[in-house]
Amino acid sequence: MPARRHTQVVCFLVRAERSLMGSPFDILIDQHRELEERLERLVSGVEPEELRGLTAELLALLRLHSRLEERCLYPLMARVEGREVSRAQTEDHLTMRELMAELEELPAGHPEWQARLLTLEDLAVAHFQEEENARLPQLMIALDSLSLEDLRRDLSATREELLSRPQVFQVPGGAPLLESLSWDG
């Protein structure tokens, strides 16, 4: 078998094996879908008395997700793709944090509040698409199986650590999400 064809077959088998094992990014992608659903629910309109509670739940989950990416994903992304790519992703998170702070300060349902929510939705969805269509596939290709497994364990352990912190938001009818986080970058 020619060397090039052999390399292609090996790469295909490695990718097939990785897809059967699941991706170390499944946690992040599942969170993307949940965040998109929660954003869509808020944007499409809910009862005024539900607005504050649903917003608090959304923001707590988004903070958890951001912290998880910043701790586990972005340092790896900086090594593989360069600091500029990681910096751009981190800047998205900073902008989202600013929008979240404004949502917490403004009266729920106010036109300015609604404008911030729509901006947050647009930015978050674009950010998720960028990660899923460009950043995560690039990492899947660049990392070996051992590094991917290490990343899977790191994401899982970090998520559990963040969820177990003593001061957490309580979600009505659900498990605690996360304490208040501040920008540490």
Residue 136 covered by a domain: yes
Residue-number span of the structural domain to which 55 is assigned: 25-162
Residue 157 covered by a domain: yes
CA–CA separation, 131 vs 28, rounded Å?
10
Cα diameter, the chain = 68
Residue 13 covered by a domain: no
Residue 140 covered by a domain: yes
pTM of the model: 0.74
Q: What is the model's pLDDT at position 166?
A: 59
3-state secondary structure the chain: CCHHHHHHHHHHHHHHHHHHHCCCCHHHHHHHHHHHHHHHHHHHCCCHHHHHHHHHHHHHHHHHHHHHHHHHHHHHHHHHHCHHHHHHHHHHHHHHHHHHHHHHHCCCCCHHHHHHHHHHHHHHHHHHHHHHHHHHHHHHHHCCHHHHHHHHHHHHHHHHHHHCCCCCCCCCCCCCCCCCCCCCC
Q: What is the model's pLDDT at position 31?
A: 93
Residue 155 covered by a domain: yes
- Tell me the pLDDT tens digit for each residue of 132-162: 998 999 999 998 999 999 999 999 999 888 8
Q: What is the model's pLDDT at position 85?
A: 86
Residue 4 covered by a domain: no
Domain containing residue 135: CATH number: 1.20.120.520
- Tell me the pLDDT tens digit for each residue of 162-181: 888 754 444 444 444 444 44
Domain count, the chain: 1
Regions in the chain scoring below 70 on pLDDT = 1-21, 166-185
- Residues whose CB is less than 8 angstroms from the CB of residue 129 and which lie 6 or more positions away in sequence, other chains included: none
